[in-house]
Amino acid sequence: MEPTGSFKIRFEDLTAADANRAAAELQSMIEDSGIDAELVKDRADTQDFGATLVLVLGTEAAVVLAKAIYRYVAKRGDKVVIETAEGKVLATGAAAANIDIAQTVSALRAQIDA
């Protein structure tokens, strides 16, 4: 069985409503790539659908995820933060040029293999 890791993707500098829309759009792009992504609420006392994506993925899925995030940031330009379940930030970017796919894949794989 392939090792797995749990990751969160959140959006900074967006209103709650915009973050909800951004999370739903990125969720769709990630799921189109064959990876399951779950929307979760940042706060239980709100009626929003959730502005954070949670993913559990294996080593090979790291490449697919990094590319999907790169495409999303290139399209929307929103600031995306990828972090581990423990809160360690693996990548952040406010423009497509700031998301280095190879470096992001390496960081994701290191967490999965840990």
What DSSP string runs through 43-75? -TTS-S--SEEEEEEETTHHHHHHHHHHHHHHH
pLDDT class for 97, splitting at 50, 70, 90? low
Asked if 91 and 106 count as a contact pair (C-beta separation under 8 A), the reply is no
Parallel, antiparallel, or unpaired: how do β-strands 89-93 and 52-58 relate?
A: unpaired
Highest mean pLDDT: which range of 41-50, 68-77, 94-103: 68-77
Share of the chain above pLDDT 90, in %: 7
In this predicted structure, the answer to whether residue 96 has a pLDDT above a threshold of 70 is no
- Average pLDDT for 80-89: 82
pTM for the whole thing? 0.77
Q: What is the pLDDT of residue 47?
A: 58
Domain regions of the chain by residue span: 4-113
CATH superfamily of 4-113: Ribosomal protein S10 (3.30.70.600)
